[in-house]
């Protein structure tokens, strides 16, 4: 392959998304490769925060019903916009809560053990918070996770085979919860196939979309997924602690949520103040508390950019830039004991490159001191994510040049091979 900087510059000239880079705040002298953990701030998101603050300043409590974005309906309106990213109908998506809170809500609703169907099926490579939540849901219903929680094992520590998941879909499973993309290796699961197989066996299935929403197009409604949940602060760039989202297929709408709260009410009746809960007939029923307006606000501006760019075009650049990064890694870093741990096939890869090395923690520290912002995941993974909106191909090229220099000069050896408090 052509490993010259000139080739990277030509890729940037041909990039139809390159102008979006100017929409983001990018620190000079920094190569930001951690947008899969926290996306950068866009100027649109900043403006939308100020607009919500201004509505509070100018309108006070009337901001709930007046202004450019009346707060009372904002979560539903943003849900309709997010629906395009995940392939849901407007009424099936709501912006609310956080990832783990939303999982608790959905599991408490859809985990309904009956007869011999008492078990929850997950995988052993999922993000820990999901596992904590699912085990606690079992315990709340009086079941011991040691007996009623199944985790599909990985054959190589990187990926989970769909065949192994399907084999574990036994007649005692009541609910399946899986990631769309595995957070370490970046493996993209075959969501449609797994949903079809679960439903053949009468099992409900939901997905954690934290590592795919905003970079991988989904078709949750068409694929018949029962539910899904995700954050917006990674690829959707809504800011640290930004409000999450959830999807519930229309066939389940009208069902009483497991965790009832005031803002899940039918909006026409919410202020009747009755003590009998009347849930909305949309995904809005799965809200629990009052929307966190100042955490919702950045999403308004961020979603404008997605509307302009289109999720399909974002996916195309993501695949192209991660492929380019992998090609450079294979060309420039052969002999330095790196292993690419993510799937190489486009249809099986999420939005980041998983680079494995026994000295990963030290290498990450060396990269940061050289201005590259990577992401370490224990025990040996360096995650690098070129983001379609704001990462140039030249930046990908420069990142690999710096990594090559670090390895060639053994600059990582002066650091302890131990993660920081926050990896």
Binding residues for pyridoxal 5'-phosphate: 99-100, 127-130, 208, 211, 233, 262, 290
| Binding-site residues from annotation | 99-100, 127-130, 208, 211, 233, 262, 290
- Of 318, 179, 183, 301, which Cα lies nearest the Cα of 237? 301
C-beta separation of 326 from 340 below 8 A: yes
Q: What is the DSSP string of 28-57?
A: TT-EE-BTTTSPPPBHHHHHHHHHHHHHHH
Q: How far is CA 237 from CA 176, 177, 211, 298, 300, in A?
A: 28, 25, 12, 8, 11
**Separation between Cα atoms, residue 329 and residue 131, nearest integer Å:** 33
Element (H, E) at 323: helix 311-332
Backbone torsions φ then ψ of 138, nearest 5 degrees? -60, -45
How is residue 238 written in tokens? 């809504």
Residue owning tokens 């916009």: 81
How is residue 44 written in tokens? 């649109």
Going by the DSSP 8-state scheme, the letter that residue 347 receives in this structure is: G
Taking the alpha carbons of 362, 367, 373, 374 in that order, is the dihedral positive or negative?
negative
Backbone torsions φ then ψ of 188, nearest 5 degrees? -95, 120
**Separation between Cα atoms, residue 165 and residue 235, nearest integer Å:** 27
The angle at the Cα of 40, spanning 298 to 184, to the nearest 5 degrees, equals: 110
**Separation between Cα atoms, residue 165 and residue 386, nearest integer Å:** 30
Element (H, E) at 369: helix 360-369
């Amino acid at each position: 392959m052509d490993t010259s900087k000139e080739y990277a510059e030509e890729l940037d000239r041909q990039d139809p998304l390159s102008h979006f880079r100017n929409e983001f705040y990018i620190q000079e002298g920094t190569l930001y490769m951690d947008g899969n953990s926290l996306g950068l701030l866009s100027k649109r998101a900043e403006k939308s925060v100020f607009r919500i603050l201004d509505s509070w300043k100018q309108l006070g409590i009337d901001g709930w019903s007046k202004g450019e974005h009346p707060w009372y309906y904002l979560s539903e309106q943003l849900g309709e916009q997010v629906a395009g990213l995940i392939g849901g109908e407007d009424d099936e998506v709501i912006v609310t809560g956080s990832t783990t809170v939303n999982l608790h809500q959905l599991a408490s609703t859809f985990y309904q053990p009956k007869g011999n169907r008492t078990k929850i099926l997950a995988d052993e490579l999922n993000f820990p918070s999901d596992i904590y939540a699912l085990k606690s849901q079992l315990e709340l219903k009086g079941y011991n996770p040691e007996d009623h929680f199944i985790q599909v094992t990985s054959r190589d520590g990187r990926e989970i085979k769909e065949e192994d998941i399907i084999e574990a879909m036994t007649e005692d499973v009541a609910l399946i919860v899986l990631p769309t993309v595995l957070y370490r290796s970046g493996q993209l699961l075959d969501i449609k196939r797994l949903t079809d197989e679960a439903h053949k066996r009468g099992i409900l299935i939901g997905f954690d979309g934290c590592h795919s929403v905003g970079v991988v197009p989904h078709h949750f409604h068409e694929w018949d997924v029962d539910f899904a949940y995700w954050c917006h602060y990674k690829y959707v760039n809504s800011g640290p602690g930004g409000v999450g989202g959830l999807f519930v297929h229309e066939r389940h709408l009208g069902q009483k949520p497991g965790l009832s709260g005031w803002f899940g009410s039918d909006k026409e009746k919410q202020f009747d103040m009755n003590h009998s809960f009347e849930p909305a007939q949309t995904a809005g029923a799965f809200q629990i508390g009052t929307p966190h307006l100042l955490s919702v606000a950045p999403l308004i501006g961020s979603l404008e950019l997605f509307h302009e760019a289109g999720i399909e075009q974002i996916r195309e650049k993501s695949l192209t830039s991660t492929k380019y990064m992998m090609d450079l890694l294979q060309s420039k870093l052969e002999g330095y004991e790196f292993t690419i741990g993510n799937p190489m096939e486009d249809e099986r890869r999420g939005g980041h490159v998983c680079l494995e090395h026994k000295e990963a923690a030290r290498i990450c520290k060396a990269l940061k001191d050289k201005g590259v912002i990577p992401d370490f995941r224990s025990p040996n993974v360096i995650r690098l994510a070129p983001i379609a909106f704001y990462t140039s191909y030249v930046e990908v090229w420069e990142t690999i040049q710096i990594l090559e220099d670090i390895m060639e000069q053994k600059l990582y050896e002066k650091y302890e091979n131990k993660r920081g408090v926050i990896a």
